[in-house]
Structure 1
Amino acid sequence: MWVQLRNRMAYLITSGFYKPGEKLPTVRKYAAELRIAYNTVSKAYMGLERDGYVTTVRGSGVFVNDPDAILKPAPEVDALVEEFVKGCLENGMAYDDIPKMVSSCVRRMKKDYEKAQG
């Protein structure tokens, strides 16, 4: 459910419903308005921040970033990802299994990198 909320909020930001610099409702207030769990909204906000849609200012709130400033992958990277997904599908993977595999691989690579650094 948090992914749906995150995606909806990202859409509202990119469509201009929420303006750059605008303060979003607090997690508690938004959870109460939507009648969903506090943790669901919190996780959606964290996803939005991770992806560059918002910035959290400790003690002040969560503010909308300029959609034009949000990091977008270079066309070459987008093409690499598309080819990767097509290759996975051609090798019998299901769409839903691809992100799980990628997450697992990224965690493993990050762990190996951190081990080599420290």
Structure 2
Amino acid sequence: MVAKETPTFSFCDQSDLPLWVQLRDRMEFLINSGFYEPGEKLPTVRKYAADLHIAYNTVSKAYMGLERDGYVTTVRGSGVFVNDLDSLPREGDRVDALVEEFVKSCLKEGMTYDDVPKLVSKHVRRMKRSHEEK
């Protein structure tokens, strides 16, 4: 089987999302769209990094995110392979994982468990006001 060309990708410098998240989301799209098919081996982290002119660690983190969310499986010594879409977690599971990751990040920044809901409430109120003003 001939390896596919690495798809082009434009990163958004104005985005609040880190580069690895943008790449992870793009790769999720490529898997969901069928560009990468179940069982297909993804390009190596080094190849993806070289082709996109980005850091190896950025691609590695994106791959780890895809694996955490069930899109790919790493087979030591063989590579990273696309999982069957039917085995993906339900959308609610993904949101739960995002919330858990957010809370852990807040705790690492020195916040307490009691601080987290206050922070979220503050931002929800601000976003709601902004939305209602439109």
Q: TM-score, normalised by structure 1?
A: 0.65
Aligned to 2:63: 45
Query: Which of 36, 41, 44 is matched with 1:18 structurally?
Result: 36
Q: How many residues align?
A: 87
Q: Secondary structure at the match of 1:91?
A: helix
Q: If each structure's helix is expressed as a fraction of its own residues, which one has the higher value?
A: 1
Query: Which of 3, 10, 27 is matched with 1:9 structurally?
Result: 27
Once residues 88 and 64 of structure 1 are traced to their aligned partners in structure 2, the CA distance between those partners, rounded to angstroms, is 39
Once residues 118 and 40 of structure 2 are traced to their aligned partners in structure 1, the CA distance between those partners, rounded to angstroms, is 40
Aligned to 1:115: none
Deviation at 1:71, TM superposition (A): 1.0
Looking at both structures, which has the greater relative contact order when contacts are Cα pairs under 8 Å and sequence separation is at least 6?
1
Q: How does 1:1-118 map to 2 (within 5 A)?
A: 1-73=19-91, 91-93=121-123
**What is the percentage of aligned positions where both structures have the same residue?**
72
Deviation at 1:65, TM superposition (A): 0.3
Structure 1 residue runs without a partner (length 5+): 82-86, 96-118
What's the RMSD between the two structures over aligned residues? Answer: 2.7
Q: TM-score, normalised by structure 2?
A: 0.57
